């Protein structure tokens, strides 16, 4: 008799005509085309550096490359859509040209920037604002029919840290997802990935509370992305720096895998891919 699939989690997405299976966790490598992202080693300021970093990450096991040209760190400087596009497009075009099989995610909250990048060959839109900073984002995603990473954040990168206040952070993020998922599905968006937004308008205790209950997002039947790489929730707890937070990040990524993460968004692909391999070996025996 077939198992009841009413609460079966969606574990595939269609990215550029390629059906990706997320039932086994995948790694997303971060490439920041910015001068001011919080982790200096993630910054790539010219096309040659982007191409080399993309190659390295793909060799090390990245299933996705997440390209961002707008720093969303707390208090980051705002830049125009034109400047963001001017930074982003050459990088996307270089990756598409040199690594045509690469799956490219675009880290932007601007619908026009996202659309330009998708038309240049990118496949996924990763929106830190969950559509709240651009009213055209959801309709654009629906029209383009691309996977959408829905993240929770309050305010803007410039104001979010002043808004890190919750009665129940998990309940608020869960309700936010329910509302946004409904809006997206009403528009006909098929592939949605959830990102709790660790560190975005959240103090460390909020982020750890979300991590502790992250497996409960499975009730929403959608893939979940964990983006905790080298963040303050790691290095602040360890009283160190982002540059020294690789071991802590790997430990927390492993916790995220036990809590149901389908995608790990990371600066350090090799270490994350090794964590996935070991985790997968263990659960294959259960």
Q: What is the pLDDT of residues 20-71, one digit of tens each?
A: 999 999 999 999 887 655 555 655 678 888 999 999 999 999 999 999 988 7
pTM > 0.75: yes
Per-residue DSSP letter, 238: T
pLDDT value of position 49 = 87
CA angle 202/43/256 to nearest 5° reads: 40
pLDDT value of position 69 = 87
Who's near 204: CB < 8 A, 6+ residues apart?
232, 233, 236, 237
pLDDT over threshold 50, residue 13? yes
Who's near 58: CB < 8 A, 6+ residues apart?
29, 65, 99, 102
Helix (H) or strand (E) holding 121: none
Weakest mean pLDDT among 22-31, 81-90, 133-142: 81-90
| Active-site residue identified among 26, 87, 110, 265 | 265
Q: How confident is the model at residue 249 (pLDDT cuts 50, 70, 90)?
A: very high
Identify whether 44 is a catalytic site residue: no
pLDDT value of position 47 = 87
Residue 194's DSSP bridge partners are 150, 224
Strand bridging mode 26-32 / 263-266: parallel
Mean pLDDT computed over 111-122: 97
pLDDT over threshold 80, residue 74? no
Written as six digits, the tokens of 29 are: 């490598």
Q: What integer best gives the mean pLDDT of the chain?
A: 91
Identify whether 231 is a catalytic site residue: yes
DSSP string for residues in 1-52 = -PPP-TTPPP-EEEETTEEEE-SS-EEEEEEE--S--SSGGGB--SHHHHHH
pLDDT value of position 90 = 92
| Active-site residue identified among 51, 87, 110, 231 | 231
Instruction: Please write the tens of the pLDDT for every residue from 145-166.
Output: 999 999 999 877 778 888 889 9
- Spell out the SS3 assignment of 182-236: HHHHHHCCCCEEEECCCCCCCCHHHHHHHHHCHHHHHHHCCCEEECCCCCHHHHC
Q: Are the C-beta atoms of residues 55 and 99 closer than 8 Å to each other?
A: yes
pLDDT value of position 5 = 44
Domain with residues 24-283, CATH architecture = Alpha-Beta Barrel (3.20)
CA angle 87/88/92 to nearest 5° reads: 135
> How far does CA 259 lie from the centroid of its chain?
16
Mean pLDDT computed over 262-271: 97
To which residue do tokens 């629906």 refer?
142
Q: What count of residues does the chain have?
A: 286
Instruction: Please write the tens of the pLDDT for every residue from 190-232.
Output: 999 999 999 999 999 999 999 999 999 999 999 999 999 999 9
């Amino acid at each position: 008799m077939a198992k009841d699939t009413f609460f079966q989690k969606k574990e595939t997405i269609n990215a550029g005509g390629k059906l990706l299976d997320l039932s086994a966790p995948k790694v997303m490598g971060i490439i920041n085309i910015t001068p001011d992202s919080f982790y200096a080693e993630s910054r790539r300021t010219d096309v040659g550096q982007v191409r080399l970093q993309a190659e390295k990450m793909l060799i090390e096991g990245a299933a996705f490359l997440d390209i961002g040209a707008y720093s969303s760190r707390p208090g980051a400087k705002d830049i125009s859509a034109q400047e963001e596009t001017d930074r982003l497009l050459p990088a996307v075009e270089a990756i598409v040209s040199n690594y045509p099989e690469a799956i490219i995610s675009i880290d932007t909250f601007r619908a026009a920037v996202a659309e330009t990048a998708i038309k240049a060959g990118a496949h996924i839109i990763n929106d830190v604002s969950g559509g709240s900073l651009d009213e055209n984002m959801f309709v654009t995603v629906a029209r383009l029919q691309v996977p959408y990473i829905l993240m929770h954040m309050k305010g803007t990168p410039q104001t979010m840290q002043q808004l890190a206040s919750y009665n129940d952070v998990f309940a608020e993020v869960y309700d936010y997802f329910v509302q946004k998922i409904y809006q997206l599905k009403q528009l006909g968006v098929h592939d949605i990935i959830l990102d709790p937004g660790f560190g975005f308008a959240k103090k460390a205790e909020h982020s750890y509370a979300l991590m502790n209950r992250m497996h409960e997002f499975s009730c929403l039947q959608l893939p979940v992305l964990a983006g905790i790489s080298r963040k303050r929730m790691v290095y602040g707890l360890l009283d160190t720096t982002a540059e020294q937070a690789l071991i802590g990040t790997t430990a927390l990524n492993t916790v995220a895998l036990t809590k149901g993460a389908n995608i790990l968004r990371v600066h350090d692909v090799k270490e994350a891919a090794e964590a996935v391999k070991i985790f997968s070996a263990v659960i294959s025996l259960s």
